[in-house]
Amino acid sequence: MAGLDFDSLIRTHLEAANRNDFDTMDELLTEEYTLELPQSGERIKGKAKIRDLHVNYPAKVHFVTRRVVGQGDLAVWEGTITYNDGPPMNRVAIFEFRNGKIARETDYFGEAFPAPDWTCTL
């Protein structure tokens, strides 16, 4: 999949999500797109089910990108997600591509917490 601009594709996808632009999001996904959420055990398969999830989701979400790295048909997005203007949570998403579209996304979330008070000596 040489030449795929995964960075632009992912950023466009998440910016569309920030605007609730479901049509643009649909254009970027394969018909068999799958969203995996390992922490909750959710797996949503198919573009129609994903659209239904996005249209009916009970919270306002906002994504901020820190960086996107990848090669070929695999990329990793790192940034934050905010629900209903609350505190941002760290999020990492693994994106897989097929035929220039997003085919699979696996998301990992984590709330921020203070580092322990300790000293490391080497």
Q: Is 117 within a domain?
A: no
pLDDT at residue number 3 = 57
Q: What is the pLDDT of residue 122?
A: 60
User: Tokens representing 105?
Assistant: 């996304």
Which residues of the chain have a pLDDT value below 70?
A: 1-4, 120-122
Look up the CATH number of the domain holding residue 105. 3.10.450.50
In a domain, 118, yes or no: no
Residue by residue, DSSP assigns 4-21 as: --HHHHHHHHHHHHHTT-
Within a domain: residue 120? Answer: no
Domain count, the chain: 1
pTM for this model (two decimals): 0.88
pLDDT score of 2: 47
Neighbours of 55 (CB within 10 A): 9
